Amino acid sequence: MNLFPKEFDKLKADLAKAMLSLPDVLGFEYGAGFGVATARGSQNNDAFVSEDGAVRTRTNRHGGMLGGISSGMPIVMRCAVKPTSSLPQPQDTVTTSGEATTIETKGRHDPCLLPRFIPMAEAMTALVLADHGLRQEGR
């Protein structure tokens, strides 16, 4: 059950939910991200400018999303993907009864999840953008 109607959904929140639903994603940020936590408001401000008849911002610290909608600037987001933990080397673990033991994973395992992550992230981004585009058309 969704407690909030679709009118309260924000593009950045939906992108974060989509990315964090992918396997092994532990973090999400957009725009200047966590870097703004130590910045002053004057340092983080995205001043509006007019270039070739188009209104945009001088910088894109907001990552292309303002007030929950796209600003028309490029959408910039980053995900933290954890390294694979299934390594072909002995690792400490416990049995179901709590006894200390070791385990060694056998078989083919990717040493890096990143090559598989990129197309999944691109597909999830496309789905979220299409969904928001369709919502806008339906208004």
Q: What is 56-109 written as a DSSP string?
A: EESS-TTTTEETTEE-SSPP-EEEEEPPP---SS-EEEE-TT--EEEE---S--
Confidence of residue 3 (pLDDT cuts 50, 70, 90): low
Confidence of residue 5 (pLDDT cuts 50, 70, 90): low
Per-residue pLDDT tens for 22-71? 988 999 999 999 998 899 988 888 899 998 988 999 999 999 999 888 99
Using the structure block, give the residue that is written with the tokens 């209104």.
55
pTM strictly above 0.85: no
What residues contact 87, with CB distance under 8 A and at least 6 apart? 105, 109
The percentage of residues in the chain with a pLDDT greater than 90, rounded to a whole number, is: 54
The count of other CB atoms within 10 Å of the CB of residue 78 is: 14
